[in-house]
Amino acid sequence: MPQTLTAERKAVVHWLSQTDFFDHSHKYKRGHALVVAGSADYSGAAVLCANAAMRSGVGLVTMYVPASVKTEVASRVLPEVIVKAIAENDGEVSNDAFGAMSDTFRKANAIAVGCGLSVNDKGVGKLFREILENRKAPVIVDASALSFVPDILRKSAQSKSDKRASPELILTPHDGEFLRLLGSNDKEAIQDRVAAVRDFATKNNIILVLKGERVLIGAPDGRVVVNPTGNSGLGKAGNGDTLAGILAGFTAQASKMSIDIFETAVAAVYVAGMAGDIAEKKFGKRVMTASDVRECLADAFFDLSNV
């Protein structure tokens, strides 16, 4: 019988112990997160995602942004993040963009795609499809990239290949985006959020992170975990980008160290919510921002290390 569970602190502490820093640790042993994000209108989303990934404990973060915003993004992101340009033609992502990033793509242990990308750019759709079709590592799909997922899932369902052989696909919609994934405008379709998450995750063999004040994480095997951390102050611009970055950083570490990816997603959501709770105490819900949440990751990790 499918289980509905609540994320527990002790499980997160265990995950952190598995990915702890040891004497022989170095950046190539701690995983490489690749972030594909940003546009002229939403360069900040790319910055938030990459900075959160860098704060997660991962060894390396490389970010690809459209060439037209590379200089701006590089001036705002943490200096430890490697910033590279997505090839463009006449202001749109080039049809050859994937080929230009293929070397970095092959080396990545997790990929986050979607934060701030322009859904109106035809080249973005082609790039996203190529990322999914050629993936050798888990992919976190957020924001505008979610609009391309239904077509990918339909093609996957029609394929005779073994879907379970593919690396994990982690989708991070809010309720509105989830309805679009379901092809519905009726909020009744997700009135029972747990059942909806379980059904979608199992049918499509994906990990689903349904955002909200109580985030739900659904597994392909039918498990649904309710996250107890977080608060309504997280319901502001940029927190989805921050969560995507934390997921990318955690997943890159887990992929490199052969740790269960679903348990990793649960741990990432728990820590992100915990950082949000710390930010609420420091600044209040009205004032706290996504950048505050990222900076409070240090406090969350410190708290979880004192068991």
* Cβ neighbour number for residue 296 with a 10 Å cutoff: 23
pLDDT of residue 307 exceeding 90? no
45 touches 115 (CB < 8 A)? yes
pLDDT of residue 146 exceeding 90? yes
Averaged pLDDT score across all residues of the chain: 94
Query: How much is the average pLDDT of 54-80?
Result: 98
Give me the residue spans of the domains in the chain: 4-305
Band (pLDDT 50/70/90 cuts) for residue 152 is confident
pLDDT of residue 165 exceeding 70? no
| Predicted pLDDT of residue 282 | 98
| Predicted pLDDT of residue 163 | 52
Amino acid identity of residue 211, one-letter, is K
Query: Which residue is associated with the tokens 């052969």?
Result: 258
Rounded to whole angstroms, the Cα distance separating 52 from 175 reads 23
pLDDT of residue 36 exceeding 70? yes
179 touches 151 (CB < 8 A)? no
Query: How much is the average pLDDT of 296-302?
Result: 98
User: pTM (2 decimals)?
Assistant: 0.96
181 touches 143 (CB < 8 A)? no
Residues 6+ apart with CB under 8 A from 167: 135, 136, 137, 138, 139, 255
Band (pLDDT 50/70/90 cuts) for residue 1 is low
**Fold of the domain spanning 4-305:** UDP-N-acetylmuramoyl-L-alanine:D-glutamate ligase (3.40.1190)
Rounded to whole angstroms, the Cα distance separating 56 from 245 reads 8
Which of 18, 115, 2, 4 lies closest to 66 in space, CA to CA? 115
pLDDT of residue 164 exceeding 70? no
Query: How much is the average pLDDT of 145-173?
Result: 80
Band (pLDDT 50/70/90 cuts) for residue 306 is confident
pLDDT of residue 159 exceeding 90? no
